[in-house]
Amino acid sequence: MIGAILQTSFRSLRRDRGAFVMSFVLPIGFFTIFGFVFGSMKGSSTPRVNVLVVDEDHSAASRSLMRALLREPSLQAETHAKPTKENPAPADYTAATAEAAVRSGAAPAAMIIPAGFGANPISFGPEPGAGAARPKFRILHDSADPVAAQVVAGMLQKVVMTSLPATMAAAGSQYFDQQVGGLTPKQRQQMESSMAFLRQLQNDGGADSQDAPSGAPANNSASNSRGFVAVDIQDVVGARKSNPMIAYYAAGVGVMFLLFTSGAAGASLLDESDSGALDRVLSARVTMTTLLLGKMTYSAMLAFAQLTLMFLWAWLIFKLDLFTHIPGFLVMTAVTAFAVSAYGMLLASLTHTRGQLAAVSTLIVLTMSAVGGSMFPKFLMPDAMMKVGYFTFNSWAISGYTKVFWRDEPITSLGPEVAVLVASGAVLFLLARWFARKWEYV
Amino acid sequence: MPSSTETVNPTLRLKAPPLQVESVVKRFGDVTAVAGVSLEIPAGACFGLLGPNGAGKSTLIRSIMGRVRPDSGSIRIFGEPVGSTAARADLGWVPQELAVYPLLTCRENLHAFGRYEGLNGSALDEAIAWCLDWAALADRAKSPVKTLSGGMKRRLNMAAGLIHRPRLVLLDEPTVGVDPQSRNRIFEMVEALRAGGTTIIYTTHYMEEAERLCDSIAIIDHGQIIAQGTKEALVAHTFGSRSSVVMHFGAARTDLAAWAAAHGATAEDSVVHCSVEKPSEIAELLDAATRDGLEILDVTMQRPNLESVFLHLTGKELRA
């Protein structure tokens, strides 16, 4: 008896060739995509942190530090914006322009090397007053990326240790001199001799950095006032926000499930085709274009309601500041719902059975959600993966919602997100209409 | 084919026959599903379209509905080309499948299909009320379709196709899978439609339905209309005044077909079909069978009917 059931089940699966193939292709395809995406990280599980570096000291020590930051492989440091046609030689960042860039989301962090750093570069603390006397590095960051500031702060301490050997030794000997009650003349002479070598090493270490391109990545990092250098970390975007990542995840998770439900909404076309209702509807005064538009509008309204519920829940439970961002929320929700519902129509018109639709839908949704940032924070992704993410609805929707809820940017700043989502939706709908000809006439 | 945007003078539309099919051909690859069919159905008729499976009946029906585009020929509904707005308004279709929304109630289904047909407001309300009454579903108006019996679903399926009160209705096997009581109810619905002047095209695999309801019948096979007329005309044209005789023999013999052919009959397994002008001819057949050593189990004689015509012309049982 069980054998007969097995036989019937396998025969049915084999007859639905699309579903049959997808049953095996789906997991392999999904695995392959992730293999390529994460495999491209080549052993570096943490991506380079982008940091804008501002030198307000202009001393030899600050220049040495700057050069070392530019060479630090775990950071992608920049001293100025990338050249454009309009501005082929952009000026170096100042504290103000770097902060503005962080606020706009151009980089997750900026590091300001303070004036006076060269005169009193490092301290071995913890003697009273030593930390207070030192000028503090400032790290301005966007807490939407909770990792960047900590990485930058840590790397600053490391770079100080490795790039300023003479400065370190001078400060160390001075500290030692004070603690032991003074060095003998001979000891001082030997110390000076060693210091000459270290100064040469420190300078040599910086010599090659002059060849570095002006737009080359630099980086910075800092820790706190107990390190070799004192650091003040400031959240310039989310300091007054209670829940930094909630808008990100509301959008990310919301879009992922929207993709699932839009696929299911599109599947109603397949059901109606099977039941004969589609034939009956199309033999009335309803055209295929009208039918698709109606189905897509329904799907978009459903998606709009789902996203609205998601953000209302975020407001209620996670204190997301929803009601002061209503215009931006409405715009992003409308365009996201439109794009996702058009995707659902295309999916239905491309497939022939519910089994095929479910398999293709799962593959696409999981892939887009993973690459687009719904399942894996974008700031932890390598550059290549983030670029691939631009081909997903998730990425653009998350970007738009982040602008609205996190950066408090005006609606006008949503231009790229709106344009991409609307254009994508329009193209997908036209493709859906093209493939839906299979239901029109024989 | 005429353009779907082509329109006909309103006066001519009143005089135009409900359905004109002219030399319609439809091929699917190497297979010719409809091979030059021509039909004209007069107003108020109930026209039966019969044919074995694979004869081209469904393709012809779907062509009339505008869901299949013929390779050549033309189809007009009250003078308007199929697919035009006017033709759609005049044509109603009740498909074989239960093409209704199972989660909606009867009223909601009728409302939806009424809207698809362009009805709204009081016209839609009146149409829904008429349909519920016609289908005897008024007391189940608020019941979801999935809670209805098979017969009720069939009646709702019919009502949904008539929500816009078309002048020409295509009923595609409307009694499939229903019990005898429900079938009778459906017959009454069809007869009520006829009484109201609606022209009906009726397809069925039940010969008694065609005999009861249809005043004109066409038999289609291999994509062509092979016979057309009233039941009496079809019988007379096919069999003349002869009666059919069916002889059952004890065991199938390899030479039974040859024996049947020698006596102007056909054999199928151990059954021989033939026709006689006079009952006395049966005695001659019985003598011949006895003489040739055939064991006769049963002999029946009947006046030929539509079933006989169908079998004679297509070589197949209608319900096969």
> What is the pLDDT confidence band of residue A378, given thresholds at 50, 70 and 90?
confident
- DSSP reduced 3-state for A387: helix
Instruction: Give the helix ranges, DSSP H, for A40-147.
Output: 60-71, 95-104, 130-133
Query: Domain residues of chain A, as ranges?
Result: 49-235, 242-439
Instruction: Provide, as residue numbers in chain B, all residues whose Cβ is less than 8 Å from the Cβ of A442.
Output: 28, 62, 67-69
The count of other CB atoms within 10 Å of the CB of residue B30 is 5
CA distance A318 to A244: 10
Q: Is A437 an 8 Å CB contact of chain B?
A: no
Q: Are A124 and A30 in contact (CB under 8 A)?
A: no
Which residues in chain B are contacts of A286 at CB distance < 8 A? Answer: 116
CB contacts of B91 in chain A (<8 Å) are 283
pLDDT-derived band at A343 (thresholds 50, 70, 90) equals very high
Query: Do residues B277 and B304 touch, judged by C-beta distance below 8 A?
Result: no
**Least confident segment among A65-74, A344-353, B37-46:** A65-74
The confidence band for B312, taking pLDDT boundaries of 50, 70 and 90, is confident
The DSSP annotation for chain B comes to: ---TT----HHHHHHS-SEEEEEEEEEETTEEEEEEEEEEE-TT-EEEEE--TTSSHHHHHHHHTTSS--SEEEEEETTEETTSHHHHHHEEEE-SS--S-TTSBHHHHHHHHHHHTT--HHHHHHHHHHHHHHTT-GGGTTSBGGGS-HHHHHHHHHHHHTTT--SEEEEESTTTT--HHHHHHHHHHHHHHHHTT-EEEEE-S-HHHHHHH-SEEEEEETTEEEEEE-HHHHHHHHHTT-EEEEEEESS--TTHHHHHHHTT-EEETTEEEEEESSTHHHHHHHHHHHHTT--EEEEEEE---HHHHHHHHHSS-TT-
Interface contact A441-B65, CB threshold 8 A: no
In the block, tokens 């005049």 appear at B90
* pLDDT on residue B167: 93
**Residue A283 is nearest to which of B66, B69, B85, comparing CB atoms?**
B66
Which residues, including other chains, have CB under 8 Å from residue B78's CB and lie 6 or more apart? Answer: B8, B13, B16, B17, B18, B86, B87, B90, B167, B168
Whether residue A314 is predicted with pLDDT greater than 90 in this model: the reply is no
Predicted pLDDT at B128: 96
Number of A–B residue contacts, CB under 8 Å: 51
Position A130 scores a pLDDT of: 47
Q: Of the ranges A12-16, A214-218, A243-247, B69-73, which is most confident? A: B69-73
What was the pLDDT predicted at A223?
40
* A279 or A185, which is more confident: A279
CB of A45 within 8 Å of a chain B CB? The answer is no
In angstroms, rounded to a whole number, what is the distance separating the alpha carbons of residues B76 and A315? 61
Give the CATH number of domain B10-101+160-235. Answer: 3.40.50.300
**What CA–CA distance (Å, rounded) separates A228 from A237?**
27
**For position B318, what pLDDT does the model report?**
57
- pLDDT over threshold 60, residue B4: no
Q: Is B93 on the interface with A (CB under 8 A)?
A: yes
Helix (H) or strand (E) holding A315: helix A288-318
CATH topology of domain B243-303: Alpha-Beta Plaits (3.30.70)
Confidence at B207, pLDDT banded by 50, 70, 90: confident
For the ranges A2-16, A335-349, A353-367, A379-393, the lowest mean pLDDT is seen at A2-16
More confident residue, A254 or B201: B201
Predicted local confidence at residue A9, as pLDDT: 76
Name the 3-class secondary structure at A90: coil
Per domain, the residue ranges of chain B are 10-101+160-235, 243-303
Confidence of residue A214 (pLDDT cuts 50, 70, 90): very low
Average pLDDT over residues A325-336: 94
Cis peptide upstream of residue A126 (ω within 30 degrees of 0): yes
**Minimum mean pLDDT among A366-370, A384-388, B134-138, B299-303: which range?**
A384-388
The pLDDT tens digits for A246-302 are: 878 888 888 888 888 888 888 888 988 888 889 889 888 888 999 999 999 999 998
Pick the residue of A280, A281, A290, A441 with the most B CBs within 10 A to test the interface with B by mutation.
A280
**What 8-state DSSP symbol labels residue A64?**
H
- Flag if B113 and A284 touch (Cβ within 8 Å): yes
Average pLDDT, chain B: 87
pLDDT of A220 strictly over 50: no
- pLDDT value at position A221? 37
Answer whether B80 touches A (CB < 8 Å). Answer: no
> What is the rounded average pLDDT for all residues in chain A?
79
C-beta atoms of B68 and A279 within 8 A: no
Please indicate whether residue B213 or residue A45 has the higher confidence score (pLDDT).
B213
